[in-house]
Amino acid sequence: MNKTIRIASGQGFWGDLIDAPYHQVTRGPVDYVMMDFLAEVTMSIMQKQKLRNPELGYARDLPGQLSRMLPHIVEKNIKVITNGGGVNPLACRDAIFREAEKQGIKGLKIGVVVGDDILENIDALLAQGIELRNMESGEAFSSIRDRIVSANVYFGAFPIVEALRQGAQIIITGRTTDTGLTLAPMIHEFGWAADDWDKLAAGTVAGHILECGGQSSGGNFLGDWKSVPDLAHIGFPIAEAHPDGTVYITKHENTGGLVSEATVKEQLLYEIGDPTEYITPDCIADFTSIRLQQDGENRVRVYDVKGRPLTPFYKVSASYHDGYSAIGTLTYAWPDALEKAQAADGILRTRLSDLGLEFEEIRSEFVGHNSCFGPLAYVPKEINEVVLRIGVRGKNKDHVARFGQELAPLILTGPPSVTGFAGGRPKPSDVIAYWPALMPKTAVTPQVIVEEN
């Protein structure tokens, strides 16, 4: 049993700093790198990509990122765990193997976790009496069955633990919980039992702190953000984990950013509902039990976390097509910038009504005035410029397209001093809506595949 392991955060979302994982393996010691790519909407994007090309459906940045890291991973025996496999983790694995072959790297073991994608099994599951009702509204799944785009089960840490047990150095998963990417190496290295709820909760909390990349090391910091040094060279967080469940959050020396009780606390509040019941497939963590202590510069101790037994359900993240939307902008300049933008908004809405166009929603924002604060926005005497941002959403694609055709005419048939339409007519885009549900864990089984090149 190792005394400590260092688990580094390498990505907080698909589109995060592309060099961050490379910096984690080159600027100081780490044992593991976790890379979190997935959000609910990301799965639907990847599923659409896979439908167009069966070789896609994963985070396409990932093979290139790992290619650059591979020499360091092999030399230093660093393990990488990521859910960047999206809806096609096997294709992602193959792309990484190709990158290894280009560099003459042999004997690389990659583990893949599959089984979370239940899109093709939806009807069979429904036939078994698994309702997949919307867990927030109670709505029946039948109301969206013909519009489903993606459906994935949130697996936890233990399939990753099995891949580690089989010797995988890189592990690619589909829809695994963000926290499971960090918890898994602790279970593997420290031999934690599947019912040691406090330790599993401690690892889950550590995973929650790491999952958003630089957000817990000073990025997007609502506190004294001006005190955060050198955000241009921010160091992503690292969890130094101990067998008793104590974790120290830190970062590499000589990197920008800040690790403090305040930055860690802000991240702990991210995306939680009932803080006493942070539910994962592995356990329930009580966030009200967490204790924090500054333990030196850029080093925070996290300890005394309490946990409770897991539930018999997996969460299902499904998405479905819910119509179309289009958004456009026009910029109005001083004098009377806000008044001009408001007049243009009224003119456009009148024309849309005269045409008999039907929308579920028309939303206008006046950027520079109220796009962040809405009706609470303070109105100064003079505003140099205001951007009218207006969007529509509806089921009729032709109506949404016609909205885009009506925006540009405001340039010559509306208020003066207008600019900012270089992007052309806004075109209809698919609206993808989120459908959360629960299903019994007995209805689906994760599969672990480990292969060597």
Span 372-411, pLDDT tens digits: 998 888 888 889 999 999 999 999 999 999 999 999 999 9
234 shares its domain with 288 = yes
Residue entry with tokens 């032709």: 398
161 shares its domain with 80 = yes
Rounded percentage of the chain residues whose pLDDT exceeds 70? 100
Q: Rounded to 5 degrees, what are φ and ψ at 14?
A: -75, 110
109 shares its domain with 12 = yes
Q: Rounded to 5 degrees, what are φ and ψ at 129?
A: 90, 10
- Number of domains composing the chain: 2
349 shares its domain with 377 = yes
394 shares its domain with 299 = no
Asked if residue 283 is part of any domain, the answer here is yes
* Strand-pair category, 313-333 with 148-153: antiparallel
Asked if residue 123 is part of any domain, the answer here is no
- Write down which residue in 283, 311, 339 finishes a domain: 311
Q: 52-99 pLDDT, tens per residue?
A: 999 999 999 999 999 999 999 999 999 999 999 999 999 999 999 999
Asked if residue 148 is part of any domain, the answer here is no
Confidence at residue 253, expressed as pLDDT on a 0 to 100 scale: 97
Q: How many CA atoms lie within 13 A of 295 on its CB side?
A: 16
The boundaries of the domain holding residue 236 are: 5-116+154-311
* Strand-pair category, 300-303 with 247-250: antiparallel
Which CATH number covers residue 345? Answer: 3.30.70
Asked if residue 245 is part of any domain, the answer here is yes
Asked if residue 125 is part of any domain, the answer here is no
Asked if residue 383 is part of any domain, the answer here is yes
Residue entry with tokens 């499971």: 180
Rg of the Cα atoms in the chain: 24
- Average pLDDT for 153-175: 98
Considering only CA atoms, which of 81, 51, 251 is closest in space to residue 156? Answer: 81
Check whether 1 has a pLDDT greater than 70. no
216 shares its domain with 85 = yes
Confidence at residue 41, expressed as pLDDT on a 0 to 100 scale: 79
Asked if residue 405 is part of any domain, the answer here is yes
- Let me know how long the chain is: 453
- Write down which residue in 277, 311, 345 finishes a domain: 311
Q: 271-283 pLDDT, tens per residue?
A: 899 999 999 999 9
302 shares its domain with 352 = no
97 shares its domain with 237 = yes
Q: 268-314 pLDDT, tens per residue?
A: 999 899 999 999 999 999 999 999 999 999 999 999 999 999 999 99
- Residues 6+ away with beta carbon under 8 Å from 194: 158, 200
Strand, coil or helix: 214: helix
The DSSP element (H or E) to which 34 belongs, if any, is strand 32-35
Burial (CB < 10 A; 0-12, 13-18, 19+), residue 75, is: exposed
396 shares its domain with 283 = no
Confidence at residue 47, expressed as pLDDT on a 0 to 100 scale: 86
- Write down which residue in 255, 282, 311 finishes a domain: 311
* Strand-pair category, 170-173 with 79-82: parallel
306 shares its domain with 374 = no
Which amino acid belongs to residue 279?
I
- Residues 6+ away with beta carbon under 8 Å from 68: 22
The DSSP element (H or E) to which 308 belongs, if any, is strand 306-308
171 pLDDT tier (thresholds 50, 70, 90): very high
Omega before residue 375 within 30° of 0, cis:
no
83 shares its domain with 38 = yes
354 shares its domain with 306 = no
Residue entry with tokens 């005269």: 354
* Strand locations in 91-192 (E): 109-114, 148-153, 170-173
- Residues 6+ away with beta carbon under 8 Å from 419: 330, 331, 333
Asked if residue 317 is part of any domain, the answer here is no
Token pair, residue 204, equals 């889950």
